[in-house]
Structure 1
Amino acid sequence: MPRRPGVYQMLGPGDEILYVGKASDLKSRVSSYFRSTGLTPKTQSLVKRIARVQFTITNSETEALLLEQNLIKKFRPPYNILLRDDKSYPYIFISTRDEYPAIRFHRGSQRKLGRYFGPFPGSSAVRDSLQLMQKVFKLRTCEDSVFNNRSRPCLQYQIKRCTAPCVDLIEAEDYQRDLEHAIMFLEGRSRTLMEDLQQQMETASEELAFERAAVLRDQLISLQRVQEQQFVDGTGGDADVLAAEIRPGGGCVHVLFVRGGRILGSRTYYPQLSVEHTQAELLSAFIPQFYLGNSGREIPRELLLSHLPEDGDVIESALSESLGRRLPLNSPQRGDKVQWLKLAITNAQENLAAYLAGKDNMLQRFVMLQEAMGLDELPKRVECFDISHSHGEATVASCVVFNQQGANKSAYRRFNIEDVNAGDDYAAMHQALQRRYGRLTREGESLPDILLVDGGKGQMTQAREVLAELGIESMQLLGVAKGPTRKPGMETLWLEGDDQPLILDRASPALHLIQQIRDEAHRFAITGHRQRRDKARRTSTLEGIAGVGPKRRQALYRHFGGIQGVKRASLAELRKVAGINQQLAQDIYDHLHPGGVETQHES
């Protein structure tokens, strides 16, 4: 291989890409994988699977880094550290082409003409900031179509969150001044802004413009409160603060977003780690994937790192080349920036501890469930069904799925139950199970180890009948019946084939897992039932009648004052409505009174 910079790809027997790496000297770097001693477990595992190696020469190590990240994002090699989050971040957008610019939430490509402030770590941070901006500066947030067609102020004006520029209740000059103050705030120039407001308030007071002075005073007070709420408020600057933490079982990177000297928020990422890496190695793999490419992320003025990567100069060069300006990577030792870094490190440590504890706790619960049920093997997948309805209306069955990592929400399913007697939970359960496992059996999909049924022996009987019809014998059935007081911890558990209930201690992790899964199935079923019921109730009772369109429905509602008046109306009264003839009146009456006998003929 050449002693040139470039990218190498390790390929498996089927030409699948196992690993992508970069090197300043391809021959030296690739040779290091095949030495006889000193290899990590990851490298040993990788080398055993390598069938061939291919490489691409580049002009520099910086170009190699850019190519490496493109290949990693495209092929997702199993032996690379993979970053799973590629969503774009939300921004605050202010248009510059309008006389009265609006301030709005924005996510996606930045093609519109205007100013973008951010990125923010999540939509809630943007909405909180917008709400604050409305309270302090009273800028409009409405769409242009609404703004251009207002004839009187909207509710936002009434609650003192807008100055109603749509109906000219504020001069363009005054609105522009408020907009400039808002921009100063978003840019982090809070101290300058407060001094400016203080001076304007005093000037307005001297000119006896007391209403204007009062508005400025309120803005000043609000901004002072915001300043008091900032945990860390430096002298300014835009930076992302990245702290890496690694423990047995996983690692994380916590990113703190600082804009204009203010902490806007943070986010924690859990990259896929194939072996134990150092924090510096984790950041070395994380930073290029996070910032390079078309992911919609803004690269700030500076990156503050808990650990400096060994190839930090290459990463810095690649980021600077992509940005068109120098982007320093620093690990500060003093000043306000150290406080930001300490905060990021603390968050990384706490988030990773909680993440691993939750993972270990779920696995422990599965182990305890195996012991409680006397299973030969540790269950990998549990499914639970529940039925929800309101006196038989809009019956919905839910299916939730749990594995050893917790809830697998992408595998959740709901079933709208049809053609069963209202309130017949047994028939509803039978239909849901038949549809679920009939499809899985036909398509050859994997089946759960445990089928958890919310109910007693009756529901379990339905489950066993369905499984027998489908020829499924591999699933262990477990019924969960609410106790006489319906309180948590008082459930009665029924194992298939046992005449006596399974009794677990109220502190048992296995019981806690069963309760968690059962409650999640209950929540998911109720949510689906309410959505279906509300949709049905939003549908007019008259919509199923041929010949009764929107105009005739409105005519009926206006004539009788609503659907209840239509239901009480006689045939003769229905015929008095414009557009309703004798036959249509009869159809409406028959639809609203099934089994009714009133019929009216022409005399």
Structure 2
Amino acid sequence: MISSAKIKLEDLPRASGVYLMKNAKGEILYIGKAANLRTRVSSYFSKEEQERFQIRFLVSKVDSIETVITANAKEALLLENTLIKKHRPRYNIDLKDDKSYVSLKLSVRDAFPRLYVTRRLKKDGSLYFGPYASAWACREVTDFIEKYFRLRTCSDHEFRNRVRPCLQYQIHRCDAPCVGYINSEEYAKVVRQVKLFLEGKSDELKKIVTGLMQAAAEREAFEEAKNYRDLLCEMERTFEKQQVVSHHNLSRDVIGLYREGEAAAVVVLGVRGGNLQESRHFHFKSHESDGEILASFLLQYYAEEHFIPAEILLPCEVEDRIALEEIFSERAGRKVELHSPQRGAKFDLVKMAAENAKQAFVSRGLKEKNLEDALADLQRRLGLSQVPQTIECYDISNIQGRESVGSMVTFRGGKPDKHGYRHFKIKGVVGADDFASMYELLSRRLKRVSSGASEWALPELILIDGGKGQ
């Protein structure tokens, strides 16, 4: 365990910067930032901090502390975030989402923009909407837009090389801009309507569509007027599903935090155009204070490619609020403000986010307990000496007796651990011999136990695909 005398606190600079706590092997355990490095590092050895078990536990593993001085608190925040991403220390927040999210991309820089699903957000001038909690929810939105707004869905290559309309035009889901059936000005009007729809600006969009319906009726284009009427009806149903939480059109994110000891849950509620459109849950462990947790979380969550709203509501003050606002404003290209309201409608939103965070925390706890119960039941049924925290599964595959390969899938704590997945090319077996191939696969895997590497430690349970012969 490191002592305050060993690191010579009086030698630490009083400048802003980043500190790296390392163990005896030189591995980085924790990375933090501070406006005053000497004061911050010294606080770990204060009587008050030593009474916290989490701090005492962390300090007991630290052998040395390295510091990096920065010009100001803003640079310290950015450097801390960069180093955390690079080294991924064990005791820093590791931002893992409960789900894999997809977004919709509207390529507004194209002469005839298209809308499609993506999992990567880039600074390419396109507009991104979402994220959506499931691919199904995303598909539902794109189906609605294809049916009623008729944006093109083809790739740029198909668009440039098409000489006649495709099936989408035949089934009235595209206006065929590829062959000039709609000009760029008219298409741009449709794109604007799609943008309003995806932004949740229902009143403005309804006004536009109502005007188009009336104009079509006056021209006696009754089929066109009917399509606009159907669009209005469908929009009513769609917008009714969205919970109105504000009568202001400002885009904002509301952050909720709930924790018990080191375990914490953070919920982000996305409000767009006054409507609650998204909710995301994150779970992690941290010894930091609530304000430090939020600052670290915000920097990771609002990464370079993530949409940053004009306002972010927080459950408590963060120490580096001004520096964070500067960073986010630079990334967004406009002013971004952080607030921690104490009363009023915004405070009610933060309370709602906190309740969602608590519910997410409790739900995750129940899931963890169910996993523990399932593993204990598996131990009992198979007569194992201990709970199978690590399970490895093996299978053999080949192509008509050639190119045999073996696969290894790993579960830790009842959950898939993709870092533990491996492929083995079968080298010493000719033809389709699953028994010999499995023997080679397991022999090679078990020999690696002697390497001493933690990734090749023996599991509590090995599962082999096959019958009694295996």
On whether the aligned pair clears a TM of 0.5, the verdict is yes
Counterparts in 2 of 1:269-280, with a 5 A limit? 269-271=282-284, 273-275=285-287, 279-280=290-291
Is the contact between residue 103 and residue 139 of structure 1 (CA under 8 Å) also seen in structure 2?
yes
Query: RMSD of the alignment, in Å?
Result: 3.7
Which of 107, 121, 129 is the equivalent residue of 1:118? Answer: 129
The offset of 1:184, in angstroms, is 2.5
Partner of 1:22: 33
CA distance in 1, matches of 2:245, 2:152: 28
Counterparts in 2 of 1:557-572, with a 5 A limit? none
Is the contact between residue 88 and residue 297 of structure 1 (CA under 8 Å) also seen in structure 2?
no
Q: Does residue 1:81 correspond to 2:90, yes or no? A: no
CA distance in 2, matches of 1:7, 1:213: 63
Q: Give the gaps of 5 or more residues in structure 1.
A: 422-426, 463-603
Which of 267, 276, 279 is the equivalent residue of 1:254? Answer: 267
Which of 29, 33, 38 is the equivalent residue of 2:44? Answer: 33
The offset of 1:301, in angstroms, is 0.9
Which of 297, 301, 304 is the equivalent residue of 1:290? Answer: 301
CA distance in 1, matches of 2:425, 2:68: 55
Q: Per-residue CA shift, 1:196-218, capped at 9, x if unaligned?
A: 22123223322323233223222
Are residues 370 and 204 of structure 1, via their aligned partners in 2, closer, same or farther at CA, if it must alter by over 3 Å?
closer
CA distance in 1, matches of 2:165, 2:214: 30
Q: Does residue 1:13 correspond to 2:16, yes or no? A: no
TM-score by length of 1: 0.64
Q: Per-residue CA shift, 1:342-365, capped at 9, x if unaligned?
A: 554444333322322222222233
SS of 1:289's equivalent in the other structure is: helix
Amino acid at match of 1:288: L
Amino acid at match of 2:274: G
Percent identical pairs in the alignment equals 36
Partner of 1:142: 154
Q: Does residue 1:436 correspond to 2:433, yes or no? A: no
The offset of 1:228, in angstroms, is 1.6
Amino acid at match of 1:297: H
Is the contact between residue 102 and residue 117 of structure 2 (CA under 8 Å) also seen in structure 1?
no
The offset of 1:440, in angstroms, is 1.0
SS of 2:107's equivalent in the other structure is: strand
Partner of 1:64: 76
Is the contact between residue 102 and residue 138 of structure 2 (CA under 8 Å) also seen in structure 1?
no
Partner of 1:92: 105
SS of 2:211's equivalent in the other structure is: helix
CA distance in 2, matches of 1:394, 1:75: 38
Are residues 225 and 19 of structure 1, via their aligned partners in 2, closer, same or farther at CA, if it must alter by over 3 Å?
same
Q: Does residue 1:178 correspond to 2:190, yes or no? A: yes
CA distance in 2, matches of 1:200, 1:403: 58
Are residues 8 and 388 of structure 1, via their aligned partners in 2, closer, same or farther at CA, if it must alter by over 3 Å?
closer
Is the contact between residue 240 and residue 304 of structure 1 (CA under 8 Å) also seen in structure 2?
yes
Are residues 402 and 70 of structure 1, via their aligned partners in 2, closer, same or farther at CA, if it must alter by over 3 Å?
closer
Q: Per-residue CA shift, 1:506-565, capped at 9, x if unaligned?
A: xxxxxxxxxxxxxxxxxxxxxxxxxxxxxxxxxxxxxxxxxxxxxxxxxxxxxxxxxxxx
Partner of 1:202: 214
Is the contact between residue 33 and residue 43 of structure 1 (CA under 8 Å) also seen in structure 2?
yes
Q: Give the gaps of 5 or more residues in structure 2.
A: 1-11, 450-455
CA distance in 1, matches of 2:123, 2:74: 29
Amino acid at match of 1:434: Y
Partner of 1:514: none
Q: Per-residue CA shift, 1:242-290, capped at 9, x if unaligned?
A: 222223673222223333334443322223x154x55444323211222
CA distance in 2, matches of 1:110, 1:452: 42
Partner of 1:571: none
The offset of 1:453, in angstroms, is 5.4
